[in-house]
Amino acid sequence: MLTETALADLRAVFGARLSTARAVLDAHAQSESLVSGPPPEAVVWPESTAEVAELARLSDRHGFALVGWGAGTSLEGHALALAGGVTVDFTRMDKVLSVHPEDMTAVVQPGITRERLNEELRATGLFFPVDPGANATLGGMAATRASGTAAVRYGTMRGNVLGLEVVLAGGEVIRTGTAAPKSSAGYDLTGLIVGSEGTLGLITELTLRLHGQPEAVSAAVCAFDSMAHAVDCVIATIQSGVPMARIEFLDAATVAAVNAYSRLDLPVAPQLLVEFHGSPDGVTEQAARFGDIATGFGATGFQWARAPEDRKKLWAARHAAYRAILASRPGSRAIVTDACVPISALAVAVEETAADIAASGLPGPILGHVGDGNFHAILMVREGDAEEAATAKALAHRMAERALRLGGTITGEHGIGFGKKGLMAAEHGATWAAMGRIKAALDPKGLMNPGKLVP
Amino acid sequence: MLTETALADLRAVFGARLSTARAVLDAHAQSESLVSGPPPEAVVWPESTAEVAELARLSDRHGFALVGWGAGTSLEGHALALAGGVTVDFTRMDKVLSVHPEDMTAVVQPGITRERLNEELRATGLFFPVDPGANATLGGMAATRASGTAAVRYGTMRGNVLGLEVVLAGGEVIRTGTAAPKSSAGYDLTGLIVGSEGTLGLITELTLRLHGQPEAVSAAVCAFDSMAHAVDCVIATIQSGVPMARIEFLDAATVAAVNAYSRLDLPVAPQLLVEFHGSPDGVTEQAARFGDIATGFGATGFQWARAPEDRKKLWAARHAAYRAILASRPGSRAIVTDACVPISALAVAVEETAADIAASGLPGPILGHVGDGNFHAILMVREGDAEEAATAKALAHRMAERALRLGGTITGEHGIGFGKKGLMAAEHGATWAAMGRIKAALDPKGLMNPGKLVP
């Protein structure tokens, strides 16, 4: 609860960069998920680490909660102010602080979006490869351990954050990691903070690992007569050592939605979309080898592309998928849920999930980053229809439980937030309590994003 | 201090698999480092997780320390029983529990060595790529976050351990991670335990990420007229996107030692040794592109090899380096220390270190995994010569401080143990105290490898 004294102390620090206006509070209570929560009591826009540290000292003194906010694109209610308090909007801390081309690293503030970062990097020949779809902020992506389409080649945020500056509860500022490519000097606190969803501290600076823009890119699309054949093709390609930069699966329902939306006539069948990054000769060879493997699993309707505009057309189905699915049922929201399983269990996981969705009566196309065993169901729920919302929640819950039964995890990339907290005990057992002990050690008063992730 | 009651309780669990024999205790007080410590009071050889959990319960009840032991190859005194207590020798928990070729994972016990693991994997077409040089155990490699020559391509233990079973202080058994390739379900406790050097718990099982054995391998060796040219060549090769599997640097002193030891006549100059993994056409192209880049930096004396026996000959200098350096000064021990810096600082770091060593009068060749910015000095110290030992310690200390000054870390892969604990505050500042809070949260009585890593 934000007292008048606390508010006065906050105003002294943030002045006009503090707001308690209803519209502002409500804008920071939006969520892409089915989870809803109360608005925060105030929103502040810090411009420096020192201000975030002062904010944490005031939080400690007055006992109000702090919730980080980037682009508001998280899917499990991560940034909802469940216990009120102050939402820390990082959009004014959005600078690239330095780029080190020789070391292939950049130091950035948390509020920069991944698209703007890559625009600023364009002239360097380098890029930051983690692409969760949404134009999220780097701070949010680190906090939720985001991944996306290119993770099969370049890894997730876990592997692409070298170091962090973090404001802990109470206002202490720590630095984790160094600018060296690796270290074995003590606990990997960078890795602990990445994915901690704001519950251990607020990220105020990130040192990122960059990658060389590929000299050549080759892309392909092909169709399969079953999900199982598509997945077996993925397994065989990975095992053959062909380095895929992306490999995405679309189910027949997704393709049908895209056909209707984009006036295409793609075969209404499970599809794989792949992309190869490398030298011109390298990607030619990789594409050819993929073609041989896919043909062996009955793939048909191959299309290939190298020029950027042709690749864009080829991937149109993937890029339009979300909008196409939304448009397929006007008046509905798309509830996106994810799970991740060992690759060997992917066909079973997707087929059982598809059958479960079909039996529910809700439309729910499935697509995913199959090279990682990660897939999404896009469940269509009519606005304001409580029964459909309950059905969607139950489907998402069963999809997560199915992933656990198959040796996987309740979420490959969307995180826990508030939406999946009820599944943490099922995934982690006694390990969840250990997470709680770490949380209590670093945030004994429970002021950092309370109500999320930990018991 | 191990009381008679505690010893009796331990005997009831371990019977003949407990020893207090002087020779056994002394064998577990050996270290590859300059650091020495007292022997443990007892050694036990558990055969199951349940036994390790019971051991942790007894440790908690009687207040004795637990120190894990794998192959005894760590370099900073990690496995020395500084506070007495019981050394937990994992050599009887050395099984491959399961291999999952489709998922490219294996579940192993901590006591298996990396060479035996790869022997057992040979028929599957898969291998585990982390190669720290020594034939260490996987449990020890995870505990110390080992890396080595192939990390530039395949990553370190951090990226190649998917999940762990860990016995915490007090005897609770937790599981971290899943068999899925990635997860965003909560704190990355796998990443926290990897590199925690036994201070947070004892690893009793590991789920490892495997990789496909490369279809083709190509290797090359070439010489440069200066360290700076060799390093610039590495930077240019990385930025060009040529995927190197290994890239090792040897300084002129190392080459001279190898020439004398192996009766070779390699040019006594800085050398790079590289290896490419991929398809036959792929490695041919990669090797050619490396050749072009290296020639641009003045490389000479190129030798190339593809057949395993030819590659072995080509890499003879690297493989013989440690023995050659040892043989170069009979009656001396080799003290191996490491540091890691951003690649852009590598030439300066190595050149200043070489000058410092030269000024000291001790022989100290330098070699390293330059693709990671990681390098080693092999300092030769006459057995029992306290003055030389002090000189070597001071050199190692300055090498670590230099790495920090250049934005790097005091150790890229050897870890902290006891040997580098005095440098942790310099690297981490307030962050070191945060590590201590996590340690206290998971091991409040300080029974897990006391005296190491944390404040």
Interface ipTM: 0.96
User: Can you read off the two tokens belonging to residue A348?
Assistant: 């079973």
Q: How confident is the model at residue B217 (pLDDT cuts 50, 70, 90)?
A: very high
Q: What are the pLDDT digits (tens) for B317-329? A: 788 898 999 999 9
Q: Does A183 touch chain B (CB under 8 A)?
A: yes
Q: What are the pLDDT digits (tens) for B15-69? A: 999 999 999 999 999 877 766 788 999 999 999 999 999 999 999 999 999 999 9
Residues of A in contact with B178 (CB under 8 A): 404, 407-409, 427
Using the CB atoms, write b or e for B3-36: b if 16+ within 10 Å.
Answer: eeebbebbeebbeebbbbeeebbebbbebbbbbe
Domains of chain B: 4-91 (3.30.43.10), 94-212 (3.30.465.10), 216-321 (3.30.70.2190), 329-415 (3.30.70.2740)
Q: How confident is the model at residue A316 (pLDDT cuts 50, 70, 90)?
A: confident
Q: Does B180 touch chain A (CB under 8 A)?
A: yes
Which 47-76 residues of chain A touch chain B by CB within 8 A?
Answer: none
If you count them, how many residues does chain A have?
A: 455
User: Can you read off the two tokens belonging to residue A432?
Assistant: 């969840």
Residues of A in contact with B100 (CB under 8 A): 342, 344
DSSP states along B210-244: -EEPPSEEEEEEEE-SSHHHHHHHHHHHHHTT--E
Residues of A in contact with B209 (CB under 8 A): none
H/E stretch holding A302: strand A300-305
CA distance A438 to B439: 9
Q: Does A444 touch chain B (CB under 8 A)?
A: no
H/E stretch holding A284: helix A280-296
Q: Does B247 touch chain A (CB under 8 A)?
A: no
Q: Nearest CB to A340: which of B102, B181, B196?
A: B181
pLDDT at res. A235: 87
The backbone torsions φ and ψ at residue A91, rounded to the nearest 5 degrees and listed phi first, read -70, -15
**Contact residues for B313 (Cβ-Cβ < 8 A; gap 6+):** B305
Chain A nearest-CA distance from B214, in A, is: 7
The residue written with tokens 């069963």 in the block is A398
Residues of A in contact with B147 (CB under 8 A): 182, 184
| Chain B CA closest to residue A433 | B174
Q: Does B443 touch chain A (CB under 8 A)?
A: no
Q: Where are the beta strands (DSSP E) in A323-432?
A: 332-340, 366-369, 374-382
| Closest CA relative to residue A282, chosen from A319, A243, A315, A317 | A243
pLDDT at res. A81: 94
H/E stretch holding B353: helix B346-360
pLDDT at res. B34: 67
Q: Nearest CB to A373: which of B180, B195, B437?
A: B180
Beta bridge partners of A58: none
Q: Nearest CB to A342: which of B103, B282, B454?
A: B103
Contact B175, B415 (CB under 8 A): no
Residues of B in contact with A376 (CB under 8 A): none
**Is residue B156 scored above 90 in pLDDT?**
yes
Q: What are the pLDDT digits (tens) for A422-455? A: 999 999 999 999 999 999 999 999 999 999 999 9
pLDDT at res. B319: 83
CA distance B151 to B142: 14
**Virtual torsion, Cα A177, A180, A185, A191, nearest 10 deg:** 40
Q: What are the pLDDT digits (tens) for A8-53? A: 999 999 999 999 999 999 999 987 776 677 899 999 999 999 999 9
**Is residue A91 scored above 80 in pLDDT?**
yes
Q: Does A412 touch chain B (CB under 8 A)?
A: yes
The residue written with tokens 């300092």 in the block is B379
**Is residue A269 scored above 90 in pLDDT?**
yes
Q: Do A372 and B416 touch (CB under 8 A)?
A: no
Mean pLDDT on B429-440: 97
CA distance A212 to A101: 9
Contact A368, A349 (CB under 8 A): no
Q: Does A436 touch chain B (CB under 8 A)?
A: no
Q: Do B180 and A409 touch (CB under 8 A)?
A: yes
| Closest CA relative to residue B368, chosen from B418, B328, B408, B331 | B408
Q: Does B281 touch chain A (CB under 8 A)?
A: yes
Residues of A in contact with B373 (CB under 8 A): 180-182
Contact A164, A177 (CB under 8 A): yes
pLDDT at res. A241: 84
Using the CB atoms, write b or e for B417-434: b if 16+ within 10 Å.
Answer: bbbbbebbeebbeebbeb
pLDDT at res. A34: 67
Chain A nearest-CA distance from B5, in A, is: 30
H/E stretch holding A356: helix A346-360
Q: What are the pLDDT digits (tens) for B340-369? A: 999 999 999 999 999 999 999 999 999 999
| Closest CA relative to residue B420, chosen from B447, B393, B438 | B393
CA distance B435 to B455: 8
| Chain B CA closest to residue A239 | B212
Helices in B176-307 by DSSP H: which ranges? 189-193, 227-239, 252-262, 280-296
**Contact residues for B81 (Cβ-Cβ < 8 A; gap 6+):** B28, B29, B37, B38, B39, B40, B41, B65, B67, B87
pLDDT at res. B317: 76
**Is residue A63 scored above 70 in pLDDT?**
yes
Beta bridge partners of B336: B378
Q: Nearest CB to B182: which of A278, A285, A412?
A: A412
Chain A nearest-CA distance from B260, in A, is: 33
Contact A106, A128 (CB under 8 A): yes
**Contact residues for B390 (Cβ-Cβ < 8 A; gap 6+):** none
CA distance A97 to A206: 10
Q: Does A332 touch chain B (CB under 8 A)?
A: no
Q: What is the mean pLDDT of chain A?
A: 94
Residues of B in contact with A168 (CB under 8 A): 434
Q: Do B178 and A427 touch (CB under 8 A)?
A: yes
If you count them, how many residues does chain B have?
A: 455
Residue type, A35: V
Contact A135, A114 (CB under 8 A): yes
**Is residue A183 scored above 90 in pLDDT?**
yes
**Is residue A5 scored above 90 in pLDDT?**
yes
Q: Does A36 touch chain B (CB under 8 A)?
A: no
**Contact residues for A268 (Cβ-Cβ < 8 A; gap 6+):** A252, A255, A256, A259
| Chain A CA closest to residue B171 | A430
Q: Does A237 touch chain B (CB under 8 A)?
A: no
Q: Does A344 touch chain B (CB under 8 A)?
A: yes
Most B CBs within 10 A among A76, A107, A156, A184, hence the mutation to make, goes to: A184
DSSP states along A38-66: PPPSEEE---SHHHHHHHHHHHHHHT--E
Mean pLDDT on A289-297: 96
Chain B nearest-CA distance from A22, in A, is: 32
Q: Does B310 touch chain A (CB under 8 A)?
A: no
Q: 3-class SS at B16?
A: helix
| Chain B CA closest to residue A283 | B282
Is the Cα torsion angle A309, A311, A316, A318 positive or negative in sign?
A: negative
pLDDT at res. B262: 87
